[in-house]
């Protein structure tokens, strides 16, 4: 993939802005329940002052990114009294009048197959630029370029980089066939990972985002496979094909091993499988069914599901001592636990009145909170910034992947394609 080149034309402006702002962040907390910042965004404009239909497409992507972040309240463009492209064209009184605290100025220039984009963030109270960035690349990379601007803008405001250049993996079922797909966080850039005319399940990105484990019945048995998704051609190898069940793979943060549910010795138990040598370390010994969910970000704990208390419940295992503690006591069927990137929350699915709902809880069992209400909602997973959840829902009829803030607000449908989409997983941020 061609790498984008930061154009870097705003270096002096950035230094001045940082000196002015002293590193000031407009939002100092990570939680989703915050007051949104009123922001103006007139859209992208041609820096050559020529008519170009690309402006609408660039603007839609940036607007969607700002809205999805949950940090901003975008003021209705119908209220704008001006549409500036440069800082010198901004009349702060016009923006104060409509209640804007911040203003995004964005421009572009294209030449043949090449594209240049830039964006600036203006503090209306001081009429000062507090951030700016630009990228050069190919026209085919225009969405990625806008997403990168959005990521940096969010980081300047919140202190945490955005998630706009991340991916979401999911299972798409068409008739009896279930394949692994990957999409950009906003539902664009669809890529089919598997096409083996079989049932594939539970895709999980590796910690570096370059590989993926998943379960497949391609050999008529639930086995675990490893796919290299870093290039155009996906290479697949077998990780575990023991007799019986090989399921529920969960990456260790080191990327060197996975936890998996295996039944080759009879009862489904949890093992840690070394991806280099294939060695298996048994983690649970119980007559109950134990299924791995997710390692904590530091790798010291494992969230899992067990029915040892009579019904499926979420437990947390200390990896050093192998001691387990139950953390869910509400709901008769709780499953699919996933840790937040900061390790302060676990999300999971809980059966409520015959339907699964998305819930969050502290790792010690405190603050159980239900965050979905409409339809059936399952397999939640945190975004890399910990502010969002992706999940599967049938609220519109067929199953699709949705995103929302962790408090259940700002719900957005992310996938629109034939079939039923379930079992999402969110990639880490790209380092490219």
Per-residue pLDDT reduced to its tens digit, 171-218: 999 999 999 999 999 999 999 999 988 999 999 999 999 999 999 999
Does 385 fall in a domain?
yes
Residue 10 is predicted with a pLDDT of 41
Does 66 fall in a domain?
yes
**Domain closes at, from 158, 177, 195:** 158
Q: Are residues 147 and 187 in the same domain?
A: no
Q: Are residues 188 and 255 in the same domain?
A: yes
Residue 26 is predicted with a pLDDT of 58
Rg (CA), the chain: 23
Say what the pTM is: 0.93
Q: Are residues 76 and 223 in the same domain?
A: no
Q: Are residues 414 and 291 in the same domain?
A: yes
CB atoms within 10 A of CB 278: 10
Phi-psi region of 29 (alpha: psi -120 to 50; beta: other; left: phi over 0): beta
Q: Are residues 148 and 200 in the same domain?
A: no
Letter string b/e over residues 14-45, b meaning 16 or more CB atoms within 10 A of that residue's CB: beebeeebeeeebbeebebebeebbbbbbbbb
Q: Beta strand 37-40 with 44-46: parallel, antiparallel or unpaired?
A: unpaired
Number of domains in the chain: 2
The first and second tokens of residue 339, run together, are 């840790």
Does 432 fall in a domain?
no
Q: Are residues 36 and 181 in the same domain?
A: no
d(CA 181, CA 184): 10
Q: Are residues 239 and 296 in the same domain?
A: yes
d(CA 321, CA 303): 14
d(CA 238, CA 429): 26
d(CA 280, CA 285): 14
Does 348 fall in a domain?
yes
d(CA 5, CA 432): 10
Q: Are residues 18 and 90 in the same domain?
A: yes
Residue 431 is predicted with a pLDDT of 64
| DSSP helix/strand/coil, 259 | strand
Q: Are residues 367 and 414 in the same domain?
A: yes
Domain that holds residue 14: 5-158
Q: Beta strand 346-352 with 334-339: parallel, antiparallel or unpaired?
A: antiparallel
Q: What is the DSSP letter of 140?
A: G
Does 278 fall in a domain?
yes
Nearest of 77, 60, 73 to residue 26 by alpha carbon? 73
Residue 45 is predicted with a pLDDT of 96
In this structure, what CATH number is given to the domain that contains residue 151? 3.40.50.10070
Q: Are residues 96 and 131 in the same domain?
A: yes
Does 267 fall in a domain?
yes
Q: Are residues 41 and 142 in the same domain?
A: yes
Q: Are residues 72 and 219 in the same domain?
A: no
**Domain closes at, from 158, 175, 192:** 158
Residue 25 is predicted with a pLDDT of 57
In this structure, what CATH number is given to the domain that contains residue 329? 2.120.10.30
Would you mind telling me the total number of residues written for the chain in this entry? 432
Does 431 fall in a domain?
no
**Domain closes at, from 158, 182, 198:** 158
Does 245 fall in a domain?
yes
* Residue ranges in the chain whose pLDDT is less than 70: 1-5, 7-33, 431-432
């Amino acid at each position: 993939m061609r790498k984008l080149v930061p154009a870097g034309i705003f270096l002096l402006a950035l230094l001045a802005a940082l000196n002015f702002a002293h590193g000031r962040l407009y939002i100092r907390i990570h939680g989703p329940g915050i007051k949104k910042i009123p922001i103006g965004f007139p859209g992208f404009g041609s820096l050559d002052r020529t008519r170009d239909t690309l402006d609408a497409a660039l603007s839609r992507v940036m607007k969607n990114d700002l809205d999805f972040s949950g940090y901003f309240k975008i003021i209705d463009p119908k209220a704008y009294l001006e549409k500036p492209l440069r800082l010198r064209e901004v009349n702060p009184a016009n923006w104060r009048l409509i209640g804007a605290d911040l203003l995004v100025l964005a421009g572009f220039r294209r030449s043949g197959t090449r594209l240049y984009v830039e964006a600036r963030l203006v503090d209306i109270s001081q009429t000062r630029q507090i951030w700016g960035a630009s990228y050069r690349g190919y026209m085919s990379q225009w969405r990625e370029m806008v997403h990168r601007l959005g990521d940096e803008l969010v980081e300047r405001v919140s202190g945490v980089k955005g998630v706009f250049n991340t991916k979401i993996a999911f299972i798409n079922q068409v008739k009896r066939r279930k394949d692994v797909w990957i999409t950009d966080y906003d539902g664009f850039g669809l890529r089919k990972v598997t096409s083996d005319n079989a049932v594939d399940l539970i895709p999980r990105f590796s910690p570096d985002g370059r590989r993926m484990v998943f379960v497949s019945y391609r050999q008529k048995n639930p086995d675990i496979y490893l796919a290299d998704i870093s290039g155009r051609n996906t290479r697949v190898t077998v990780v575990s094909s023991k007799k019986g069940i090989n399921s529920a793979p969960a990456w260790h943060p080191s990327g060197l091993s996975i936890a998996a549910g295996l039944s080759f010795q009879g009862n489904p138990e949890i093992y840690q499988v070394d991806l280099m040598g294939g060695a298996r370390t048994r983690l649970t010994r119980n007559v109950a069914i134990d299924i791995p969910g997710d390692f904590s970000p530091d790798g010291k704990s494992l969230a899992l599901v067990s029915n040892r208390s009579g019904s499926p419940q979420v437990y947390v295992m200390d990896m050093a001592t192998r001691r387990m503690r139950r953390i869910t006591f509400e709901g008769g069927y709780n499953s699919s636990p996933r840790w937040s990137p900061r390790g302060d929350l676990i999300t999971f699915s809980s059966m409520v009145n015959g339907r699964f709902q998305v819930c969050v809880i502290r790792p010690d069992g405190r603050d159980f909170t239900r965050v979905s209400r409409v339809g059936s909602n399952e397999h939640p997973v945190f975004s890399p910034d910990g502010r969002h959840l992706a999940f599967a829902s049938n609220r519109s009829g067929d199953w699709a992947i949705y995103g929302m803030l962790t408090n259940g607000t700002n719900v957005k449908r992310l996938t629109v394609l034939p079939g039923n989409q379930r079992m999402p997983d969110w990639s880490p941020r790209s380092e490219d």
